[in-house]
Amino acid sequence: MIWNFKWIILKKVNQTVPKFNDRVGYKLKTKNKIDILQLNITRTCNLSCKHCHLSCNPNRREDMSLDVAKKCVELLKSYNFSTVDITGGAPEMSGVFKYLVEEASKLNKNVMIRSNLTIYNKEDYKDIPQFLRNHKVDIIASLPFYEREKTDKVRGLGVFEDSIRILKILNELDYGKDYDLNLNLVYNPSGAMIPQSEEELEQVYRVKLKEDYGIIFNDLFAITNSPIGNFGKWLDKSRNLDRYMNRLYNSFNDEVIEEVMCRSTLSVDYDGTIHDCDFNLSLGLGIKGKNKTIFDITVNDLENRPIVTANHCYSCTAGAGSS
C-alpha cells in the first residue's frame, strides 16, 4: 500500500513541472570525496508527523539488523568518511543505535544523530542524552517552530512542550554551550511553503527560545519539505501539489547544486540497500550500478557516482537550498 502510494505521488511530481535534469543542464555526480555515511536505521518513531517523508510512526517495525550494522562499520573502516549521520524514524528506538554510536566514536568519526527530542521523555530513553554527551555526539533536533501552536499542528498535540523540556535538559548537559557538544535545530514550514531566510529565522528562534525558555542552541537549519511521503500525500489530497511544485521550480537556484546532500553522501537503509540520499531512500530509488547493498558495495562505487534524480529534487534547490 505504502509502495503504491510512493510511486503514484512521484509520478504526479514528475508530471507537474519540467524535468529536474533538464533544468540543471547536466547529470549530477557525486564528488571525488564522499564525506558522510548516513544510516537510516529504523522506521519506528514515537511520533507520526504530517511532513514525514518516510511515513514513520509507532506501528512501523522495520529495524536495522546487527549484520547490516556490522557491514556499515566495516565500510567506515575501509573508507575515510568524516561523518556518520544516524537517522530514522527515531534512531534511538533501534536495536543497533548504541552499537553504531559506540563503534563510530571509536573510529574518531564525527557522529551526529537526528532526534525528535520527545523520545527522551519516555522512561526507556531517559539515559540517552547523557549517553550522547559521553560520546560527544552532535544533535540535529527537529523543532518545526518556536511556538506551541504551529509545532503541535505539524507533529502532534503536546510535542512542543515535550521538546522544550528536553532542550532544557540538553542545555544543562552543556549541549549548545560546549564547543564539541553541538545542538542544532531544524525548522520545517507547516504548509505548502518554502522556508524564509535561514539567517532571519535563526535570529528569531534564538531570541524567542532564550527569552521565553532560557534555551540556547548552535545553528538553525531551514529545511524545505520534500513533496513525497506524508507531505506529498497531504499536498495531493489538499490539491496543493501543482502549486507547491511550481513554487519549488520557480525558486530553483543553480548556485546550490554543488552543495546538495547527495553529492557527498552515501545513504544506507535499515535493510542494507544503498541510496544517494534519504529522499531517494524513502522512494526506494537505489544507486546506479550493479552493487546496490552494503554487502556488495566497494569503495570504488562511492566516488564520481552518477546520482539518481527526479522532480522531488527541486526541494533541495529551492531558494537558499535544503537537504
Instruction: Region of 158 please: left (phi>0), alpha (psi -120 to 50) or beta.
Output: left
Residue 282 interacts with ligand SF4 (CB under 6 A): yes or no? no
User: Residue 172's closest CA among 203, 140, 213?
Assistant: 213
Kindly tell me which of 116 and 182 has the beta carbon lying closer to ligand SF4: 116
Binding string to ligand SF4 for residues 25 to 54, with x set by CB under 6 A, is what?
--------------------x-xxx--x-x
For residue 197, what is its C-alpha cell?
Answer: 531566510
Binding string to ligand SF4 for residues 252 to 281, with x set by CB under 6 A, is what?
--------xxx-------------xx-xx-
User: Residue 69's closest CA among 303, 261, 296, 295?
Assistant: 295
Q: How far apart are the first and last CA of the chain?
A: 27
Residue 162 interacts with ligand SF4 (CB under 6 A): yes or no? no
Judge contact between 41 and 97, C-beta under 8 A: yes
Q: Smallest gap, in angstroms, from Cβ of residue 86 to ligand SF4? A: 12
Query: Which residues, numbered 76-95, are part of the site for ligand SF4 (CB under 6 A)?
Result: 88-90
Residue 251 interacts with ligand SF4 (CB under 6 A): yes or no? no
Kindly tell me which of 214 and 306 has the beta carbon lying closer to ligand SF4: 306
Q: Give the length of the chain.
A: 323
Rounded to whole angstroms, the Cα distance separating 65 from 270 reads: 7
Binding string to ligand SF4 for residues 102 to 141, with x set by CB under 6 A, is what?
--------------x-------------------------
User: Residue 260's closest CA among 226, 234, 284, 301?
Assistant: 226
Residue 311 interacts with ligand SF4 (CB under 6 A): yes or no? no
Q: Smallest gap, in angstroms, from Cβ of residue 116 to ligand SF4? A: 4
